[in-house]
Amino acid sequence: MINLENPRKFSALVSQAHQVAAEIFRPNSRKYDRAEHSYPKELDMLAALLDGMNAAGGDSGGAGAAGVRRDSKDAGAGNRNGSNLSTVLGVMELCWGDVGLLLSMPRQGLGNSAIASVANDEQLQRFKGRWAAMAITEPHCGSDSAAIRTSARLDGDHYVLNGEKIFVTSGERAELVVVWATLDKSAGRAAIKSFVVERNTPGFELVRLEHKLGIRASDTAQFALVNCRVPRENLLGDARIDVEKGFGGVMQTFDNTRPLVAGMAVGVARACLEETRKLLEQAGVKIDYERPALCQHAAAAEFLKMEADYEAARLLTLQAAWMADNRKPNSLEASMAKAKAGRSCVDIALKCVELCGSIGYAENELLEKWARDAKILDIFEGTQQIQLLIVARRLLGKSSAELR
């Protein structure tokens, strides 16, 4: 029989993450939404606590986008509920508090997830404890990661990078940036590799910080790389261009991070639903699970539909994370979870604002902020349209050239 509840062994982690969300993230949510580009100092103590837990051998994987490696260890050990699932459960709780503050957590960036996913043992040790952002998107190739033009040319013991990167989350605050670049444009996507670039590297220039609709607590940067020299040992994964394999090595990062973004969306959706339920009950609208939706108040019927949508997104997200823990290919499921959760989060947030009327639209409640935050969760790490395209390719057995 399938158990749809959270694994019992993660109950303490989920409880701790919820406590952080309730006592640190929520109280500071509006403050840093208004003070865009200001660094949330309150996160330093929390980051130090997580570092201490890691040093002591504790499992703080639920604290943020820590990433997970896949290997053959414990093969045949049966079903495993491991770090992917614990991280997703923690992310859900923390984003119930605030998405922007989660994305601002030191040493918990999406670049850290990339390093944790594909770095070798020496790189893992060398970059341990450092905050890493991830730079993929370019002005001309929004959602098409395979169209990257930033170039990497080997020159002795260094790669020379040239190009431009936009929408880099935590780009200004992070110590490292994982930059996607191509070794040979004529070789197509197989030549795309990821490089760890130190923020103070000459030729790696911060162009500007973006002003955004939501997640204002998190900084979003644009960079220019002009003859930026990166040590060859900072390349993540295999330096060989394998046309047969394509760029599966760097894309493996997405199989880990897309369920995390889906988890963020699930957390925001739950926050919206809980706040809306409270406001509806204050207005005298009762939600009755014993009666058909059509026999209830129209607002209650809408709420029940949103809850069903939320639950579907949550279960898809947990499935994608569980598959990664059990070394099962999860590219399809990761995209399904990201597509469903991203769309559901936006729909739920906007409907909750609508149901709560002027209360939902004003700054008295956080609903209007969550509605603004929600939209990015349907865009970054691959837009809704890209996720649906990936799902279609997987289901139909089509290549990217056959189905665009």
At 364, which amino acid appears?
N
352: left (phi over 0), alpha (psi -120 to 50) or beta: alpha
Identify the DSSP state of 87. Answer: H
Q: Which helix (H) or strand (E) holds 89?
A: helix 83-97
Report whether 158 contacts 117 (CB < 8 A). Answer: no
Q: Which two tokens stand for residue 234?
A: 């900072």
Three-state secondary-structure class, residue 236:
strand
Three-state secondary-structure class, residue 363:
coil
Residue recorded with tokens 């939902």: 360
Residue recorded with tokens 């902020």: 369
| CA distance linking residue 316 with residue 208, whole number of Å | 37
Name, in order, each residue with C-beta under 8 angstroms of 53's C-beta and a sequence gap of 6 or more. 59, 60
Q: Which two tokens stand for residue 188?
A: 């197509």
Report whether 96 contacts 271 (CB < 8 A). Answer: yes
Paired sense of beta strands 132-135 and 176-182, if any = parallel
Q: Give the CA distances from residue 114 to residues 82, 126, 296, 338, 346, in Å, rounded to whole numbers and listed in that order.
A: 18, 14, 48, 17, 26
Q: How many CA atoms lie within 13 A of 218 on its CB side?
A: 27
Residue 368: active-site member: no
Paired sense of beta strands 151-155 and 132-135, if any = unpaired
Active site residue: 175, 333, 365, 381, which one?
381
| CA distance linking residue 193 with residue 238, whole number of Å | 8
- Selection from 89, 132, 129, 99 nearest residue 114 by Cα: 132
Q: Which two tokens stand for residue 340?
A: 């469903």
Could you give the residue numbers annotated as active site?
A: 381
